[in-house]
Structure formats: C-alpha cells, structure tokens
Amino acid sequence: MATEQILSPLPGTFYRRPAPDQPSFKEDGDTIAVGDVIGLVEVMKSFHEVTADKAGTVVKFLAENEDAIMAGNPLVEIET
C-alpha cells in the first residue's frame, strides 16, 4: 500500500467539521471513498468542500480544525 496526501485546493481556513456542534467529516483510521468530503476551506466567508480524489484509509490529519492553510498544503495523509 502507498501513502498519499490530499492537498488544499485553496488558501483559507480549514475546518474538519460541517458546523461547530457536529462531528468531524472523517477521523484518523476512517475509510474514505473517491468523492468523500474530508473538510471545508473557508475563503472570504465562502465554504468550499475538500473531497478525496483517491480511496483508502485515513492515516492522520496534517491540518487541524481552524488551521490557516495555503493552497497546496497537505491536509490529510491516506493509505491507498
């Protein structure tokens, strides 16, 4: 199995949950499929879904909830 990263498509603030009172989209150890939402990036009050482009298992999140990120920053490491 190979380890790959899902990168941020945009600069902004990364959110692991859809809302503060809701659980994270994915946790370490979860299985993901192509198209699954793994988080949101907020840019100027606009939220953009970050989706998995490969299927696999989440090894660990490299960006935490509410981290400031740049385009191209790794968000999550997955085992494919």
Write the DSSP assignment of the chain as a string of letters.
--EEEEEPSSSEEEESSSSTTS--S--TT-EE-TT-EEEEEEETTEEEEEE-SS-EEEEEESS-TTEEE-TT-EEEEEE-
pLDDT number for residue 1: 75
52: left (phi over 0), alpha (psi -120 to 50) or beta: beta
Per residue in 3-60, pLDDT (tens digit) is 999 999 999 999 999 999 999 999 999 999 999 999 999 999 999 999 999 999 999 9
Buried b (16+ CB within 10 A) or exposed e, 23-47: eebbeeeeebeeebebbbbeeeeee
Q: What is the pTM of this model?
A: 0.93
Domains and CATH numbers, the chain: 3-79 (2.40.50.100)
